[in-house]
Structures are given as structure tokens and as C-alpha cells.
Chain A
Amino acid sequence: MSAAWQVVVGLETHCQLATASKLFCGCANAFGAAPNTLVCAVCSGQPGALPVLNREALDLGLRAALALGCNVAPRTKFDRKHYFYCDLPKGYQISQYDQPFCTGGGIALASGKFVRLARIHLEEDAGKAIHDRGAHSLVDLNRAGVPLIEAVTEPDLSSAAEAHEYLTALKEILQFAGVSECDMEKGSLRCDVNVSVQRPGGARGTKVELKNLNSFANVAAALEHEVARQIQSLESGGEVRQETRLFDAEAGVTRTMRTKEDAHDYRYFPDPDLPLFTLDEAHVARVRSYLPELPAARRARYVKALGLSAYDAGVLTASRATSDYFEAALRHNDAPKELANWLTNEVAALFSDAASGVRSIDELPFKPFDFAELVELARTGRVTRSGARTILRAMCAQPRAPRELMRELGLETVADSGQLERWCREALLGREKIVADVRRGEEKALGALIGPVLKLSGGKADPKAVREKLLELIRAS
């Protein structure tokens, strides 16, 4: 039944810019400080205080615009958007209404579909209101005045999966460009969804806005539920009301927050405290020259020039930190496949293991140089893979050169052929049936012999060398 319906989705995404200070005052832009400690006369809306634009915010916004291929307006202005709420100190938010600083641009999805951006504008964040701590509401203004960009797409998305993919790509790009942390848990990335359903070729359906979506998974889940709700309503002869709905992640439903009748008239007008500001071409060019290589370009290069799989390239570029780490290691060890393999498997495993004490790439206590060396030791058989894994763990606890740790822990593989032969001969004793199998050409059976040798060696024998030695001994016997 739902095949007969088209889903039309547009996203409005707010990202906090990673500036040192707020958009219109000198207060620090930081997450997690004690409530109301990062406030001043300006961002707490004291009478007589005036905003002064933080040019760093403008430059970060510009970087986002350039990374997303937008057109930058040569002149732009700020407007006041009015509404009353306890977390909005001035009774208006300084935002941009009819002249956003950039328009156009967009993101290409894997399918080849291009999701167009209508605009990106710059605005200040509100504070935070907390209503569930007793009789009184609490207000924390640390966030008030933090710079945000709001990126608004055209209604080009047609499924929850596409919305998810777009958000993932947007996050990657903004992180790579150093524009925003894009951490939904900290609220540095927030997303509102507009969704309607319509018959193919039919009139555009009534748009519903979804709010309170605190993860990409929730965006997708809310969309699934809302699309189903709208279709069911229409198919049972009902209608879709224009309204704003909140997603209840636990119940998995959306609920009416406000209807069109309560829609605000924000009474936008140009902020007379802030003059028009200009972005001259030379400045735009300068900001453009500082843009790093973006994830899509990096991924393509990893596949083409480094010969990585598309999957590995994707995992490596999922975060700027991982990708940068990989590239740094690559400068010391020209073995992209091995580095990628170690980074996406063994290093990634550390993050999910509490015992390692390392939760993300940023927390790795050792330098890419040491990591590159470790991979080299494993690649050349100086340590076994399991030995290298042990060294990796040791490097987390005490960031020292892997070569040193290898010696200290006695993990260097034994290259002494005589010793290797003694271990192999010992392992062959009493395993005549397996030896016979191998001789009959069942090389798979050899595995049952390699294990005991490694055990006898205490992990110091290189499995490859053991395998060769065993074959040699069996053939000779």
C-alpha cells in the first residue's frame, strides 16, 4: 500500500560552531561548565548591552558554506526573531531572515542523488531551560549566544534512510572542515524534520514538523513512524494537519506539540545594533584555501591511490581524527592496507574494551609514528599478530616505542632455525595420524600441528615460519 505514496522530507539542521567565544560577546563557548558561569551583560540580555559580531564565527560559517559548495552573499545582515521564552534573554534571537549569508550547495548521496541546500544562516543559540527539578524551572545561560549555523535542505529527501545518509555526510563534512563537533549528545548538532506524503504526481501533502530528535537513529525512526501515521490517516479517509510534533523515542510515537493556529509571528526585522557586513572575495578565497580535503575526496583517493577497499576507506574517513591519524601513520610506513587493517580492527577494538583505558582515537597515548612501527613489526614477522596485539595494549598503558616493548615482553619471534625445528619435532611426536593426512595432501590438517608449536614456543614462533618448517619436516620424513 505504501508503495503508492511518495515521501517528501526536508531537514533543518543546527550546528554549534567550534569557536573559542560566543557569537556576540567574549564569553567562552564551552560545554559542561557550571550553570551560568559563562555569561556576561551581553549574553544575559542586561539593559543597555550591545552585540559585537565575532568574526571567527563568520569564518567558520563561511568554511561550512564553502565545504558544502554554497554561494556566499557578498553582503548580509542580521535580523531579530521575536518570541518569549525563559531561555531567550533578550526576548529575541539574533538570526538571519531574508538574506542568509549563503544559499545553494548541497550533498551528494551514494545513490547519486544530490540533496540541495536552500540556505545556511548564522544565528545565536538560546540558553537551556530545565523544568524537571522541583517547583521552579531552572535556566542556564551558558549556551545563550553560542554561534549556530542552520542548514536547510530543499524537500529533496524521500526516505528515512536518505535522511540518515544525508545527516551522516553533513556531520562528516562539518567535522572535517573543523566547523563543528557535531555531537548530538552535547547538543552541538540538532535536527528538525519536515515531512509530508503525497500520491505520485499528486498535490503536495500537508507538511508536519518533527522535533526532539536527539540521534540520527531517532530521526530515521521518527520519520518511519510519522510517515506511517500520515499514510494511515489519509488511507482511512482522514487528513494530515499542519503542525509540529514531538518524537517520543521510548514510546516510538510522535505527538502534537503545537498546531498551525499557535504558530508564532516572529516579527522579524533587521537588527539595528548590527551594521550590514560584507564578505569580500579575497577573504572568501583565503578561507577557501584553508579548507582541508573533504571526506568524499579522501575516500576516493584511498580507494584509487592507496588500493583500500571502499569499506575500509569509509571506516577511516568516518571521522577526521581517524583519517588524520591514518595519514600521519602512512607518512612513516608506506603500507596502507596493513595500517588500515590494524586501525579498523585492532585499534578500534581498544575503544570498546574498557580495560584499554582508551575510548577514542583522540585518547590514543602513542603517536602515529609508533603505531606505524608496530604495524611494520607485525608485517615483517618480527612479532606475531597476537604478539603485536599484546604490544598495542602495552602501548596504551605506557607509551613507549613498540620495539622496546617487544624486547621487554620477550615477544620477538624466534628466527633461530634450530630452535624452531626442535619445537616442531616435539609437536610431531604422537600425532602420526595428522602427519599422514598432510602427506595425503590435506594441507588443512597442518593447522592442528601449528597450534601446539606456537604453544610450545610461548607465542614467540612466527606461524608462517612454523608452517614452512613443519611441511619441510613432514616431506623429508
Chain B
Amino acid sequence: MSDATALERVDAALERAARLEARLHAFLSLDAAGARRRAAELDAHSGPRGALHGLPFAVKANLCWSGVETNAGSALLAGYRAPYTATSVQRALDAGAVALGVANMDEFGFGSSGENSAFGPSRNPWDLARTPGGSSSGAAAAVAAGSVAFALGSDTGGSVRQPAALCGVSGFKPSYGRVSRYGLIAFASSLDCVGVLAPDVERVASVLGAISGADERDSTCLPEPSCSAPAPRSLQGVRIGAPREHFGAGVDPRVAACVRAALSELERLGAQVLEIDLPHTHAAISTYYVVASAEASSNLARYDGVRYGKRERGDGSLQGMITATRSSGFGAEARRRIALGSYVLSSGYYEAWYVQALKVRRLIARDFERAFERVDVIAGPTSPSLAFALGERSADPLAMYAGDALTTPASLAGLPALSTPCGLVREGDSDLPVGLQWIGPHGADEFVLALGAAWQRASAHHLARPALAQEAQR
């Protein structure tokens, strides 16, 4: 495949993506003409090749892509064409990658199943009746199906890692600030990270190398150079902490067993696995839903129907128009988070909820700081459950939120976290992937990726592909 021209690769990817779309609904739009034009340009260009030369990729619908409908999975932004391109997308393009289309997602990132997309859910390539996870639902499905070489997603509380786990691909959330948020449609600004999904960690690392680094347009972006490609290393002597809390109640025993088996493999490869405690893990979900919803209620205030997006007339007054637009434009989950976030920020409740959540957030971060005095990296399940059936949790928001229990702690602490496939569990007629989550100290992005890559060189879990992907290979 590496000898193929960019145009051949892009044509093959387009063909596959289009053929699988009816079953997966991974994409909200495909830019076939633009992708082919760009690929032909790359082929015609004789200069030095970018690190991502000719790689077709999917762009999550909350990353601005100039001139293309960037709707964040929301009916309110249906038809909205971004007037500029996100820094991360631009850097991937500059490195020679070819944007194939816009990946489906839960509205504004609100969800863990893709079912909160206003444009219908994506499906899991391993079992079409199940969720691919979320909110980067389409991105994960497209990578797992082999339609794209990688996808740019976003991870606020697990939105890259959890779908990567449920779809059997590698997914990385960098340290907060390692990749510019400029052009990432904000959900929760203090948590949002642009992340990468790809078939293996090496690919993830090369994409991260292209998109990371300082950006003067994002004041929260770290003033550091882009991540370098991790040098090959061994797992010999690496101290891996397995948090007791990540294997406890609420975690599917089959998932826990699969991850324990993976940890044993890592031990055989020379790593040392230590039991550790992250005592505030139980508070992560509630803390996360207070902080993230507060910021979301604020970030979504701009969708008022005045300047762009959907507009409902209402009673004809300005306030009436704004109310009608927001009431009908946002889906149920978005409205729920706005209500929750507005409540915790309102005067009289602010101290008890928002300020308190910030304190607990600090405690959660300190758990990690303490743990990293003893271990080099922390590992456990990414998701407490296997891919669940579409519709199974959509009526029960709390059950849905519980699925974020193991990913939100690293988000609250701003740490780099990687999900890699670590085995399959048979359920009914389907084999369902399980993800192993690696969490590193802040700023240790290259280190975490190096460990994941080392494991993938010594194991084969990441090579498992759903039947659908093999069929499409033909």
C-alpha cells in the first residue's frame, strides 16, 4: 500500500467509506471532490513529503474545516460552514494528510454512544446493533472499518478513548494544552483536548507529532514544541500502577479479566505491575459533570440564532427568537447539560457546586501526583463495559454517565491517556473489543505513546479487525 499514489489511497478510502456508510453512518459528509483534488496535488508535487503524506483522514464534526459544514452533530448548526480551519486540522493537512469527510458525533460531544447526534447514530463495525461509543462515534467507526488511516477527534471526558476501546482501535488524549484547541467547537474549555484515533499507536504518534505544539491563537496551549516520534523502547523495568478502583464495582468482570490478562502479558514483557490507590476516583463522575456542564452552559450561549445556524422566529421578539431557537435547536442531552451547568453557576449555588467541584478536581489530580511518585504509568480498563446495544442506555442518562467513570479522572487532571486494544470478549454472535487505558504524568505524552507502541510491537491485539473491515478489504 505504501507504494500507492496518494490518489489511489484516497480513491480506495472514498470507495470503502461510501460503500459502508449505509451500515455505519460514520460520516456526516464526504468531500470526495476536494479529497481527490488534494491527493492529485500531492502526487504532482515533487518536493519533500510531509509526515502524513497521502493519508486519508476523518475530521470529527466539531473541528472547524473552512468551507465545509461543521455542525458538531447539532441540528442548531446544520448548514453552518466554518469560515476558518482549526489549527489541528490545518497542521494535519500541512503534513500531507487528506481530509476525506466529516465524522459523526454526539451533539457538541455530549454522550458516550453517538446516539445524541442530531443526524442519527453511527454503528459499531464489530456489531451493527451496538454503539461505537462516543462522542467521537463516527471517527472510531471509520478507523475500525478501515475507511481512513486516522481520525482527529476530541476528548473532554473520554470521547476519544472510550470509542477507541469499544471499536478496537488506538485512541489518544494528549496532555491538556498539548494540541491547540483553536477551531475545536468548545464543550468544556478546561477539559477539551483534540485527540487522535488510528489503527495503531505508531500512527497515532506520527499524527500527534504533526498536530501538537504551541499555537498563539490558543492562550491555554502549552508553549512547547510538537511531540517527537517516540523512540522504540522496551517495557523492561517499567512500573505500571493498576488502580484498585479501576477494577471494582461497576466494571464488567469480563472487561476486568481481559485487562488483567493484558497486565500479565506486560509483566511477562518485563514490566512490573503494582496495585495502587486513586482514592477519589468515585468522585470523578460527579465532579466532571459539574465542571463540564458549567463550562458547556457558557460555551453554548453563543448559539442564539442571531449570527449563524438555525433560527426559530418564536413570538417575534428577540428573547422569544432566542428561546425558540435554543429550545428546538438543541437535543435533549444538550438541554439537560445547559440546565445543569446554569444551575451550578447560578448565584447562591455557585460555591456549593462549582467551587466545590473545583476543589475535588484538585484532589483527583493530587491522587495522580502521589501515584506517579511510585509508578511510571497507570493502566486499567478504558471503559467499564463492552460496546452496548444502541438504545440500551438512551433513556437513562445516569447509566450513560457511569460509563465515563474511568476516563474522566485523567481529563480532570489534564493527563495524557491512551487506549489500546487488549483483547476481545465474545457476546452472543459478536466479538467485542476491550481497551486498556494508559495514563501518564502531565507532559509525558511521548512516554505513554512509546509504551503503547512497545506493547504493540510485542503483541497482536491491535491487529484484530471486525469482519466487516475484512469483507470490505476484498
Contacts and interface: CB of A to CB of B under 8 A. Distances in A.
28 contacts: A45-B302, A45-B307, A46-B64, A46-B308, A47-B70, A47-B186, A48-B62, A48-B184, A48-B186, A49-B183, A50-B217, A50-B219, A50-B220, A52-B216, A52-B219, A84-B322, A89-B307, A90-B301, A91-B298, A137-B318, A267-B347, A269-B298, A269-B345, A272-B190, A273-B189, A273-B219, A273-B220, A274-B219
B473 interface: no
Contact of B295 (A265, A268, A272): A272
A79 to B, nearest CB: 10
Nearest to A266: B347
A349 to B, nearest CB: 49
Closest 7 CB pairs of A and B: A91-B301, A272-B189, A272-B190, A267-B345, A47-B185, A48-B183, A45-B302
Contacts of A41: 83-84
A91 B304 contact: yes
Interface string A32-73: 000000000100111111111100000000000000000000
A17 to B, nearest CB: 19
B347 A91 contact: no
B350 A269 contact: yes
B220 A272 contact: yes
Given A50-B182, A51-B219, A273-B219, A89 B302 contact: yes
A46 B84 contact: yes
Contact of B185 (A48, A267, A271): A48
A205 to B, nearest CB: 24
Interface string A136-149: 01010000000000
Given A48-B64, A50-B220, 9 more contacts: A46-B64, A48-B184, A49-B182, A52-B217, A82-B301, A89-B307, A90-B301, A139-B307, A265-B347
A80 interface: yes
Chain A interface, >50% SS class: loop
B82 A47 contact: yes
A45 B188 CA distance: 16
A52 B217 CA distance: 6
Contacts of B181: 48, 50
B92 to A, nearest CB: 16
A47 B77 contact: yes
Most chain A C-beta atoms within 10 Å of own C-beta, residue among B62, B83, B184, B302? B302
Given A52-B216, A53-B219, A273-B220, A46 B83 contact: yes
A292 interface: no
B315 interface: no
A108 B218 CA distance: 42
A128 to B, nearest CB: 13
B126 interface: no
A46 B62 CA distance: 12
Contacts of B77: 47
Contacts of B448: none
B354 interface: yes
Interface of A: 41, 44-53, 80, 82, 84-86, 89-92, 137, 139, 265, 267-269, 271-275
A47 to B, nearest CB: 4
Given A52-B216, A272-B190, A273-B189, A47 B347 contact: no
A271 to B, nearest CB: 8
Contacts of B218: 50, 52
B69 to A, nearest CB: 12
Contacts of B307: 44-45, 89, 139
Interface string B179-217: 001111110111000000000000000000000000011
Interface in B292-337: 294-295, 297-298, 300-304, 306-308, 318-319, 322
A47 B302 contact: yes
A429 B332 CA distance: 106
Most chain A C-beta atoms within 10 Å of own C-beta, residue among B84, B319, B354? B84
A47 B72 contact: yes
A290 to B, nearest CB: 26
Interface in B150-200: 181-186, 188-190
B414 to A, nearest CB: 12
Contacts of A137: 318
Given A86-B318, A275-B219, A48 B82 contact: yes
B86 A84 contact: no
Contacts of B70: 47-48
Contacts of A44: 307
A459 to B, nearest CB: 66
A269 B217 contact: no
A41 B72 CA distance: 17
Contact of A269 (B62, B184, B294, B303): B294
Contact of A92 (B82, B86, B301, B303): B301
B278 to A, nearest CB: 24
Contacts of A275: 219-220
Contacts of B298: 80, 82, 91-92, 267, 269
B119 interface: no
B342 interface: yes
B264 interface: no
Most chain B C-beta atoms within 10 Å of own C-beta, residue among A49, A50, A53, A85? A50
A456 B138 CA distance: 100
B346 interface: yes
B80 interface: yes
Contacts of A265: 346-347
Most chain B C-beta atoms within 10 Å of own C-beta, residue among A41, A48, A50, A271? A48
Given A267-B347, A275-B219, A46 B318 contact: no
Contacts of B347: 265, 267
Contacts of A51: 219
